[in-house]
Structure 1
């Protein structure tokens, strides 16, 4: 008799396939998780632990089916969901890779401001400041920190075609982003989320946003070169990494003259 791999128990499901191991807490729970969802969870654990790093190819569906002692179809369904969640990327004829924020298709996954004319308008980021401070109460709550825990505050402007369009205020947990400085940010060539991923091991998985129309206060108006009271779009985002752990609070003010905020729903 062969032994089962870690995380798998020989108990079969309704299809006769072995089921991944469950904790005592989950065994006591009346809820049922489909087998492919359990395999999805095990693959996600491997992604979170760094077994397969951003940009690397993961084992084939056949290899994963052998590893977890399930059918290839079950693995395929789990990978389909992980690809839909933007955690994995299928490449025709090459295999399945861990998604990375360096990919072109990921560049605008979290920046949803698009030009009305439909043309591509490259943007330039201008850093204003990066400093460590004690977390304000509201930021601490959103990042699930204790009041006055250390945080990193980044402020930057985004320019499209030379026009200042976005003011970003970005709050990060200081314990996760130790060593992040203005100089280090200025030296990095690439998207901010790609830097967080490659240099701090923190991948943004999903985000929750609140959007409202606001009038520019004097401080914001100066940065965006508009008059106080000018109509702006305010976007407040909390971004999460594996385990649904909040790792970023971002407050953005957008000038929407010639631009619109687009969110595709499905």
Structure 2
């Protein structure tokens, strides 16, 4: 990639021109160029990116400008700095990253001390997107999506029932065995097997009562209140890549979030 950042022209806008600035700070332009390389797989999750000196030479800017761009990428968990080793593309296989989207924690301790969830993949199949799923994933109604349902159990107790929808083109070939057999975080498997990295997510929470089928999967009564969490996860450039609707038992776990 040999692109160089554009420079803003001096002077007042021409008559009739938009009053919206047509430029961005130089470090933001460099950040955009680095994001372009991340999005197109020039550096894979877990791999080192070039040094600040190398990137400064590549983009013909100062090292300080590159550092400021990388500072923002690190703050957004897109890259990770390692003292004395360099800067690496963030991956969900990293201990400190894989729990970033996991907000359900056991009442009796930290999630890192809990045994991995036992996964039961009920189904994984290719279907046509309904209107609401298509809208969430920026697809057309009827486009192909991969739909999966699974139950996550802790210490033998079914705790989470999840329905997941993924764009069919990006996740072509995904199987139930693949989802059940991967030992690490599911998002790490998405990176490794499909080259899709989830970089941020939005969630909606509400309290609900389960229908009979949902209650049966979670071994609760239909009068048991559950936490409903709808998550939309995005890859680079805010492209939606996963719609996930989960029902959570909260008799032994709670939803934990840190605000700053």
Q: Distance in 2 between matches of 1:8 and 1:217?
A: 55
Question: 1:36 and 2:27 equivalent?
Answer: yes
Q: How does 1:106-121 map to 2 (within 5 A)?
A: 106-119=97-110, 120-121=113-114
- TM-score for the superposition, normalised by structure 1: 0.88
**What's 1:50 paired with?**
41
**What's 1:65 paired with?**
56
**What's 1:154 paired with?**
148
1:7 is aligned, of 1, 4, 9, to 4
**What's 1:188 paired with?**
182
**Unaligned 5+ runs, structure 2:** 11-17
Q: Could you tell me how far 1:154 is from its partner in structure 2?
A: 0.8
1:231 is aligned, of 213, 225, 228, to 225
Q: Distance in 1 between matches of 2:56 and 2:165?
A: 41
Question: 1:204 and 2:198 equivalent?
Answer: yes
Say which SS state the counterpart of residue 243 (structure 2) adopts: strand
Q: Could you tell me how far 1:186 is from its partner in structure 2?
A: 3.1
**What's 2:14 paired with?**
none
Q: How does 1:12-31 map to 2 (within 5 A)?
A: 29-31=20-22
Contact 2:91 2:97 (8 Å CA) reproduced: yes
Runs of 4 or more, structure 1, over 3 Å off, are 11-14
Contact 1:217 1:229 (8 Å CA) reproduced: no
Question: 1:140 and 2:140 equivalent?
Answer: no
**What's 1:74 paired with?**
65
Say which SS state the counterpart of residue 257 (structure 1) adopts: coil
**What's 2:83 paired with?**
92
**Unaligned 5+ runs, structure 1:** 15-26
Say which SS state the counterpart of residue 230 (structure 1) adopts: coil
Q: Could you tell me how far 1:13 is from its partner in structure 2?
A: 8.5
Q: Could you tell me how far 1:183 is from its partner in structure 2?
A: 2.5
Cα root mean square deviation, aligned: 2.0
Q: Distance in 2 between matches of 1:36 and 1:118?
A: 42
Contact 2:8 2:23 (8 Å CA) reproduced: no
Q: Distance in 2 between matches of 1:102 and 1:28?
A: 45
Q: Could you tell me how far 1:28 is from its partner in structure 2?
A: 8.9
Q: Distance in 2 between matches of 1:190 and 1:65?
A: 36
